[in-house]
Structure 1
């Protein structure tokens, strides 16, 4: 596969960067050591501007090309997960309870590799904005960086990002126009009854029975309120109530996640969940309160930019290794905020077989880092060619 030769030349350096980052996982916005490492490398590469402290530890670096032109944004996430690593690798996490279990160390490395090459060659017009983002794994760092004005401040015209993908063949790019990843919402239902002795249930308003009825009814939202050709996941993941076998409690708590691809379906779920919680509870002579937290929006690729990204991917790995119409994924990703702010596209880069992300035995495949860096570079050079070349 035609990885850019110069990037292949420093692939060993990229592996060293990635494995160092793997040893120092940091959570959400507290990516101080990671950001310091990124800034140190960017200074070595000779980028033109480095802007730190965006969304606490986010970094935006600017590389100027040859002559006037627009600014293209390239994004990588930096944060890790609150998990204890079980890989046994010599470069495993040095911090118990924290682990790069989603490959953000690899994403950061790919963007650093692209930065090094672009700062050396500058074979493009306009500017590149390299966006190193904290808090993708909860916290919505992408939203915060947009709220703090990076798109306008750096005059970003369009933006691209990617994620490694275990289970997809190594070096294969996969994407699709339109929704590629789901919105991720959280629901909390507080059932309020009247407790009492388990031997005298007729004297109570039993929240346990009501909670079971609510959970069962919620499952009918997708089967009875949605066109089966549309996609929706509602998963109840927690029910907490009671303390002992002979006491009916006063309250019960229900919690879960909702995954959707459209605001219309999302609104329908909120409406029906409210109706179900209220009315099922009333049928048991008690009350229920729904708290519905809207999380990350769906990640929705823009058609023109997706077509362009597919062309770039084919240039890097060949047509046979590009999936231009992959199935949408029910997982969520806060790059959706950036795609709401600017046109762009998000891609998956296959890393072959092995443990999936968010697994204590997961490890990023270093062999795909030069491929990802080459994609970023080719996207810049093809999107913003130097005049006369």
Structure 2
């Protein structure tokens, strides 16, 4: 393990920043305090800073001291989850119902660490663009920044990001070229029937009966309609209806998620859900409204940038700790939308602990901070150096 010595020297500062952000979590598009901390830190480094992009997003720009060149982006997400924390850490969330249960406080801190290193050394040609993104957790933060002309205002040649991984050993890094994380849709299905007294079900058109039938029928879509060689998930995660023991309610709502790696498969699932809803509406004499919303694109890493990221990781954690991901992940990540605009890659960095993300007891190991910061800084230096050398070679050949 050869984390950058300069970053090792201010790791205590990074831990302090991470603990502070962790204690004051903010959910998507509400990251006012976090973005203010980020902007102030970057300004103290003497960087050009832009705020309010995608509501609470922050951009920092670092120009190298080796002359003009290409621009490389580094991105971190800042938002917390709308859930309670059960870690009993001394710096646990001070706000019930809000918790950095996915480690975005760590991602933000790692990028701040890389920013300090790059701002102090500037040993590269061209520019590094730091992207601190809001609202990754299903609220469309990447799309909001892109909609506000992120890459038109700040042109970028390639971009990189990482995520902590408690399922990997400390210091292990996994990369994957091509489709690495699933695209996702969220759905809400509202069933409107006719309410009645619970003792007189004959006077009702019971939406709960229809909701349970539809939920069960939807479980057959992947097993009976999707090609077995195509990965897909349909999960009903919420069923809301009723308010009393003796009242058959007027309506019920099913909600959940769809995960696929192919737009054709997603379209097939959407169609089958609507067909099942139409059939059950006719059979039970109710109205069913289906709303399916695309939230995450399929995350597809670019081959050249993935190999570059793996090479940078080997510099930091050693050859033995860097490998390809065994299979794509069914989880989703809205960095995918940035990768549709700019070539780049996304990797996973292991840390101590085995409690998964999005669990109320999840704890991010502070030992990952200098590793992640070093990896982000190294890919910037290494890639911009490679591009300068490539341009010089091409010029000589011409």
Structure 1: tracts of 5 or more residues without a match: none
Q: Which residue of 1 aligns with 2:218?
A: 218
Q: Which residue of 2 aligns with 1:309?
A: 309
Q: Does 328-337 or 352-361 show the bigger shift?
A: 352-361
Give the TM-score, by structure 2 length. Answer: 0.91
How many angstroms apart in 2 are the aligned matches of 1:90 and 1:170?
A: 23
Q: Which residue of 2 aligns with 1:265?
A: 265
Q: Which residue of 1 aligns with 2:340?
A: 340
Q: Which residue of 2 aligns with 1:89?
A: 89
Cα distance per residue 1:241-293 (max 9 Å; x no partner): 34555554443322221111221111111111101110122123333221112
> Offset of 1:82 from its aligned partner?
2.2
How many angstroms apart in 1 are the aligned matches of 2:43 and 2:306?
A: 32
Q: Does 104-113 or 24-33 show the bigger shift?
A: 24-33
Contact 2:85-2:360 at 8 Å conserved across structures: yes
Aligned residue runs from structure 1 range 201-280, under 5 A:
201=201, 204-244=204-244, 247-280=247-280
Q: Which residue of 1 aligns with 2:163?
A: 163
Task: Summarize the Cα distance change of 1:210–1:40 in structure 2 as closer, same or farther, 3 Å threshold.
Answer: closer
How many angstroms apart in 1 are the aligned matches of 2:78 and 2:381?
A: 25
How many angstroms apart in 1 are the aligned matches of 2:51 and 2:385?
A: 28
Q: CA RMSD in A?
A: 2.0
Q: Which residue of 1 aligns with 2:8?
A: 8
How many angstroms apart in 2 are the aligned matches of 1:250 and 1:16?
A: 52
Q: Which residue of 2 aligns with 1:115?
A: 115
Q: State the SS of the aligned residue for 1:74.
A: strand
How many angstroms apart in 1 are the aligned matches of 2:188 and 2:308?
A: 41
> Offset of 1:4 from its aligned partner?
1.2
How many angstroms apart in 2 are the aligned matches of 1:356 and 1:300?
A: 23
Contact 1:29-1:135 at 8 Å conserved across structures: yes
Contact 1:240-1:253 at 8 Å conserved across structures: yes
How many angstroms apart in 1 are the aligned matches of 2:32 and 2:243?
A: 42
Q: Which residue of 1 aligns with 2:27?
A: 27
Cα distance per residue 1:4-44 (max 9 Å; x no partner): 12111221221122122222211211212212211222123
Cα distance per residue 1:205-258 (max 9 Å; x no partner): 443333222112111110011111211111112223345555544433222211
Cα distance per residue 1:37-95 (max 9 Å; x no partner): 11222123222x11111122211111011212110100011111222322222222233
Contact 2:188-2:254 at 8 Å conserved across structures: yes
Q: Which residue of 2 aligns with 1:43?
A: 43
Contact 1:278-1:289 at 8 Å conserved across structures: no
> Offset of 1:195 from its aligned partner?
4.1
Task: Summarize the Cα distance change of 1:268–1:122 in structure 2 as closer, same or farther, 3 Å threshold.
Answer: same
How many angstroms apart in 1 are the aligned matches of 2:110 and 2:76?
A: 8
> Offset of 1:197 from its aligned partner?
5.3
Task: Summarize the Cα distance change of 1:42–1:251 in structure 2 as closer, same or farther, 3 Å threshold.
Answer: closer
How many angstroms apart in 1 are the aligned matches of 2:361 and 2:196?
A: 47
Q: State the SS of the aligned residue for 1:330.
A: coil
How many angstroms apart in 2 are the aligned matches of 1:130 and 1:156?
A: 11
**1:378 and 2:389 matched:** no
Q: Which residue of 1 aligns with 2:51?
A: 52
Structure 2: tracts of 5 or more residues without a match: 393-398
> Offset of 1:202 from its aligned partner?
5.0
Cα distance per residue 1:93-116 (max 9 Å; x no partner): 233332222111111111111111
Task: Summarize the Cα distance change of 1:252–1:84 in structure 2 as closer, same or farther, 3 Å threshold.
Answer: closer
Q: Which residue of 2 aligns with 1:70?
A: 70
Task: Summarize the Cα distance change of 1:202–1:31 in structure 2 as closer, same or farther, 3 Å threshold.
Answer: closer
How many angstroms apart in 2 are the aligned matches of 1:20 and 1:239?
A: 36
Instruction: State the aligned residue count.
Output: 388
Task: Summarize the Cα distance change of 1:30–1:212 in structure 2 as closer, same or farther, 3 Å threshold.
Answer: closer
Task: Summarize the Cα distance change of 1:250–1:22 in structure 2 as closer, same or farther, 3 Å threshold.
Answer: closer
Q: State the SS of the aligned residue for 2:210.
A: helix
Give the TM-score, by structure 1 length. Answer: 0.93
Task: Summarize the Cα distance change of 1:284–1:125 in structure 2 as closer, same or farther, 3 Å threshold.
Answer: same
Q: Does 112-121 or 175-184 show the bigger shift?
A: 175-184
Cα distance per residue 1:285-305 (max 9 Å; x no partner): 333221112212222212221
Contact 1:123-1:385 at 8 Å conserved across structures: no
